Amino acid sequence: RGPCVLSEYQAFRENVLKNLDDKAFDKPICEALLNQKFFNGIGNYLRAEILYRLKIPPFEKARTVLEALKNQEQARREKSPSLTLSKKLKLMRENPDLLELCHTVPMEVIAAEKKLLDPDHADNYAAFKNWLQCYLVPGMSSLRDRNGRTIWFQGEPGPMAPK
């Protein structure tokens, strides 16, 4: 397993970006997101929610998505090397990238966990279903990836979609 998306965010981010030549990134992004060597802690419903929020087709090549992100990060650093931490955080919140959402989306679940897992909360499953924007949501499309896992999405599946 790679660094944790929650507790080791910076190490997680660096692990993905420095290993983009790994064969794991030759696969569709929806399959790469389940690779625990790089996305430790991301599971089926989280990958759907993350890709949906960014409007990334699930069967887009992982390397294509992540190399674009690496280039954006370099451009952002060059354009504004003197940004304060608070301004960087504000930018991140307003325009999160895929790796940032791999951290913040699970954090939303953890923040809501008390409500979702409290046995005195009779409607905890309803709260979780209301939180979901894509996964198991009526009207969304779904396909099985090459591992037999169902990915939920909206719009085009992407160029690497199974036939």
By three-state DSSP, how is residue 61 classified?
strand
- Res 70 pLDDT > 90: no
Asked if 103 contacts 8 with a C-beta cutoff of 8 angstroms, the reply is: no
Q: Residue range 131-155: average pLDDT?
A: 96
Average pLDDT over residues 62-88: 74
DSSP per position, 127-146: HHHHH-SSTT-TT-EEEE-T
What's the pTM value of the predicted model, to 2 decimals?
0.85
Q: How are the residues of the chain apportioned to helix, strand and coil, as percentages rounded to the nearest 5?
A: 50, 5, 40
pLDDT digits (tens, 9 = 90+) for 84-142: 666 655 555 667 899 999 999 999 888 876 666 555 666 667 778 888 999 999 999 99
Four-way CATH pick for 9-153: 3.30.70.20, 3.40.50.300, 3.90.76.10, 1.10.8.50: 1.10.8.50
CA 51/CA 54 separation, integer angstroms: 5
